[in-house]
Structure 1
Amino acid sequence: MAEINASAEGVRNALTEALGRLRKANADYFELLEKSLGSSPLPIANQAKEVCSFMQRNTTATFDLGEKLIHANNVQDALKLQSDFFQDQMRSLTDQARTMGESAMKAAGGLFSPKN
């Protein structure tokens, strides 16, 4: 039976390994999703690709936070990391909402423009 290493370094190594597997599965998922959207004949495929890109950036940021938390030295470091992450994600969400709003306005404008 394998020996269990419950030291802080052993736990960090196990978490890092698990996070690596999650990152790989996430990358595979988004690769498959991008291929599906690339072959989609739907008129909203470009908007869906944009949303997919946002999702991928958000999940990558979450994995990055997890990696930083694994290596945090104390609770204060962990709380600072989480606070910074939250602020960054709120800025990102605001930018993503603005971008999607602009994209929706362009798409809506195209519906009402005169056809030749």
Structure 2
Amino acid sequence: MAEINSSVEGIRTALAEALGRLRKANAEYFEMLEKGLAASPLPIANQAKEFSSFMQRNVTATFDLGDKLIQAKDMQDALKLQADFFQDQMRALTDQARTVGESAMKAAGGLFTPKS
């Protein structure tokens, strides 16, 4: 039994290390993306930055779920974690869609205002 527990802990450790490397690569990717968007002369750069921020939050939430799943005690615990994650992501998606919609409406409103 001790052999099984030590192999489970070894797997958890390996998964946690791999997830840490993925987090680091992800952070570097978004840092590079933000630098590129900051230097962009395109008029939609601000909307792209906002979208990038949403993506970053969603990916971070997914990594956080991975951390929690690695530590799950059993299948029931894992399923609860996934259900909670799904609900949180649906709320975040709703908020993000509202924000993007408001931003699009503002941008579209600017197109139709008379220029004097």
Output the TM-score relative to the length of structure 2: 0.94
1:30 aligns with 2:30: yes
Could you list the structure 1 runs, at least 4 aligned residues long, displaced by more than 4 angstroms after superposition: none
* Number of aligned positions between the proteins: 111
> Which residue does 2:58 correspond to in 1?
58
In structure 2, distance between residues paired with 1:115 and 1:34 = 33
Superposed, 1:8-47 pairs within 5 Å as: 8-47=8-47
> Which residue does 2:107 correspond to in 1?
107
What displacement does 1:78 show? 0.1
* Identity over aligned pairs, percent: 79
In structure 2, distance between residues paired with 1:113 and 1:36 = 31
Deviation per CA, 1:1-46: give whole Å up to 9, x if none: xxxxx61110000000000000000000000000000000000000
Residue identity matched to 1:20: G
Which runs of no fewer than 5 residues in structure 2 stay unpaired? 1-5
Greater share of residues in helix: 2
1:81 aligns with 2:91: no
